[in-house]
Amino acid sequence: MATSPSTTTTTPTTTSPTTSMATSPSTTTTTAPTTSLATSPSTTTTLTSTIATSPSTATTTTTTTAPTTTMATSPSTSTATAPTTTKVTSPCTTTNAAPTTTMAPPSVTMTPTAVMTTTEGPCPPCYELFQENCYKVFEETLRYEGSVETCSKDGGILATPRDRTTDQFLIGLKNRATGSEYVRIGLTDRAQEGVLVWSDGSPLRKGDYSPWTRRLRNNGLKNCVEYVRADYNIHSLAIQPNKWQITSCDWNQMFICQVKSRVET
């Protein structure tokens, strides 16, 4: 009896694909003052598949995706230039002018330094030249001592209109400057009652030019001399406009200073 050989069939079947997925998105956002936006979905996907088939086949697939993206955003910086304010005033006035605002441009322009050369004039600032002297009307009101001190600071004295031409010039000067006010000049009898002396020390002699107003009262308490207001009642028989009259040295009044010209005329 014949026995058929035994047949053994072995089918190895191995199915164990191993899949490993690692996902670790890491997001970092940094703002102020430098914004660093790090976007890394740092994604790593590892797929390992091992398939063993008959006869013997091994397939290994590896997929790696790990793009790393870094976005750095620097904030823009703007520099604001503060506006500069310039106060503009007239050199010959005591009135405060409203300030004007000038916006400085953001750009910077380099300008070479210029050397200014000026020629000194015959008179101090704001003084007007007439013959050999310079004159200025001060609109601030001071007592006699204060007006003398102010003129002295400019190197001058209270005005001495010794002749008609100078007197007429000063009348026009004070009327333009003040409109119409009483204005002190440099003539006084403070040192000796009844003896009038100019601010330079010389006396007013009999027969010298002296356009007094018709009413000339001096009770011993008034020792200074002033111009009468320009708008005084012209029909008055006692006081005439723009003439000289005795006044108190203690009153606060406008005054005229006189400075020697730097140039002989």
CATH for 195: 3.10.100.10
Domain annotation covers residue 62: no
Domain annotation covers residue 28: no
pTM of this prediction? 0.56
Domain annotation covers residue 19: no
C-alpha 71/C-alpha 101 separation (Å) is 44
The set of residues, in sequence order, having a beta carbon less than 8 Å from that of 147 and lying 6+ positions away, is: 138, 158, 184, 253, 255, 257
Q: Mind listing the pLDDT tens digit of every residue in the chain (265 residues)? A: 444 444 444 444 434 444 334 334 444 343 444 443 333 444 333 333 333 334 443 444 444 444 444 444 444 444 444 444 444 445 575 444 444 444 555 554 555 554 454 567 899 999 999 999 999 999 999 999 999 999 999 999 999 999 999 999 999 999 998 877 899 999 999 999 889 999 999 999 999 999 998 766 666 678 999 998 876 665 555 667 889 999 999 999 999 999 999 876 5
Structural domain boundaries, residue 177:
128-260
Number of structural domains found in the chain:
1
